[in-house]
Amino acid sequence: MEVPILKQGNYLIASIQSALTDADLTQLRDALVAQVGRFRSRGVIVDVTALDVMDSFAVRTISALADMIKLRGAETVIVGIQPEVAFAMVQLGLTLSAVATALDLEEGLLFLNQHATAGRARGR
């Protein structure tokens, strides 16, 4: 199933609605990286609230996604990781340590807003 990508101001929001196959994940990654450029977005939020499993491939793809988006000049936040999913991920050693995380969509937007302010203060 393809993941809908919504544009909200300067940000893109990808809201994952159901379990994704590996192909869906790579498709999501490529689509987001492309659209960040097209819409000149400053931030990307990936909402994984609906996922009850995050395997190593998903984590690797999301890490890659965040790195690629960083190279395209935007920030990525992963939001809505379920407590059980977080616990399982940590047990597997998948800590997503290079990617910003937030509790839910609202927190993610807040994080990006703060980040944008900090960026402007630094003269970006």
Partner 1 sequence: MAAQQSLATRNMPTDDLLGELVSHLRQNRTNLREEWARRITESRLLTAMTKDEIFVEATSVYDNYVEVLETGSVEALQAYARNLSERIIPRGVETNEVVGIVLLLRDVLARSLFQKYQADFALLNRVLDAYEPAANRIANTVAVGFVQERERVIRQQAEAIRELSTPVLQVRERLLILPIIGLVDSQRARQLTEQLLQGIRANRAKVVVMDITGVPSVDSIVANHLVQTVDASRLLGASVIVTGLSPQIAQTLVTIGVDLAKMNTVGDLQGGIEEAERLLGYKVTTPTDLP
> Which of residues 8, 17, 21, 95 is near partner 1 by CB under 8 A?
95
* 19 and 53 Cβ atoms separated by less than 8 Å: yes
Residue 18 binds to partner 1 (criterion: CB under 8 A): no
Q: Does 62 bind partner 1 (CB under 8 A)?
A: no
CB nearer partner 1, residue 31 or residue 64 = 64
Could you tell me which residues come within 8 angstroms of residue 46 by beta carbon, excluding any fewer than 6 positions away? 14, 16, 28, 32, 62, 65, 76, 77, 78, 79
* Phi, psi for 84 (deg, rounded to 5): -65, -40
Please pick, from the candidates 5, 14, 45, 81, the single residue that binds partner 1 as defined by CB under 8 A.
Answer: 81
User: Per rule CB under 8 A, is residue 34 in the interface with partner 1?
Assistant: no
- CA angle (108 as vertex; 26, 78 as ends), nearest 5: 30
Chain residues binding partner 1 by CB under 8 A are 78-79, 81, 83-87, 89-91, 95-97, 101-104, 107-108, 111
